Amino acid sequence: MGALRDPDQLGKYQIQGILGEGGMGVVYRGFDPHLARVVAIKTIRRGLLKGRTGDELRARFRREAQAEGRLLHPNIVAIYEFQEDEEGLPFFVMEYVDGKSLKEYLSRGMHFNLEMSLHIITQILGALAYSHREGIIHRDIKPANILLLEDDSVKIADFGIARMEESEFTQTGRVMGTPQYFSPEQRLGKKTDARSDLYSTGLVFYELLTGEKLFGRQGEVGKDFRIGEEHLAKLESHGQEAQRVLKAVMTRVLAPDPIERFQNAAEFASALQPLMVQQEEPVRRRRNLLWLALPVVLVVGAFVVWQQVTPLGTLPNPFLDEPAAEPPVALSGEEQEKVNRLLKIGELHQRVGRLILPEGSNAHAAYTMVLEVDPRNAEARAGMRRVQEQVVEQLNGLIDQGRIQSARDELALARRLFPDNAQLRAMESQIGRRG
């Protein structure tokens, strides 16, 4: 095989087997004896580390670990640490994900219902909104790199070609990635940006809904990147109103010219809002799939970290504290419908990082409107707590990165919205001391 000669151990990690391998490296199943947990370990093939080219590859491997290690998001596979063995072989230690890739489902000829497709795509968009905000483009969004866990949560894997050189060419002149999910600019070897990831996400969305690749054969990809009427017609099974929205969304996100596409993940997610509010119940369990997958476990790795949020504890807040004992608010049918719609909008905003901005269209605003109608709504109260937690986490990230002015601007708004939050108050003093 020529990878690591089947090592028994890398650093403190015991090697239990091979999870996958490619031209650049191998992913092993490992065991951390100190924490008693299974991990995934990604390595570079030793033969690629010779000479100047090897030095450059090792340095790039380390840079990617450092860059992607900044990412803190629950929908991105976690990286735990970066090491080198005694012979100088670099390797990543990553989260072991017990799930199945979307490719596994789709390869069996299935497609997902609208509700489950939206559930998956909004999680992907939330992860991309975050990574793009941090300056990291995935460049290889495809079903094989999207893992669906048993609880229906999603994790994006394999940021392995993220932050590559602008040309994105290997030494042999081949474009890196998967051609069937390329954006037009990727296919042509041009500069890519966040909109390239959105194009690829649109292709995945189409495949979830129809069970078919938009560009069935690799040779078709370069002909015309624009979605045609014959493709849009396959969305008709999802209902007349949903079909109207889906056609508009697909036409825009799959526009050949990046200028005509959604300019960021939040715009893409906002365009899906009419579909979200049409759904009567949130997705909870795997029963929402139209096909039950065989119990095959896929484990892959990526270069990112699980989002850790600092608990806020009990904070005095008129929206968060339990109100004094009083009878529940009796809502009319129209009011209850409004509450349900706003809760779904708030959840969508939260997934893509629209916490308190832009003003009037964010998670905080949606939950506030719910609590104005139903002050005892537990879901809105929980959502508001999560917003506070995530805002604190975002601000800490900005401070750690030295983006003090950006932190000041966001903190000023957060303090107005959450005046009694002790963590925000302490953060204000911390930033003030920096001058």
Give every CB contact of residue 242 below 8 A, 6+ residues apart in sequence: 114, 235, 275, 278
Q: What single DSSP character describes residue 356?
A: S
DSSP 232-294: HGGGGGG-HHHHHHHHHHHHHHT-SSGGGS-SSHHHHHHHTHHHHHH-SS---SGGGSSSPPP
Total number of residues shown for the chain? 435
SS3 state at 84:
strand
Q: Is the bond into 90 cis (omega within 30 degrees of 0)? A: no
For residue 9, give the nearest of 116, 85, 109, 118 by alpha carbon.
85
Distance CA 370, CA 351 (A): 18
| Catalytic residue positions, numbered | 140
Give CA 143 to chain center in angstroms: 13
Type of residue numbered 27: V
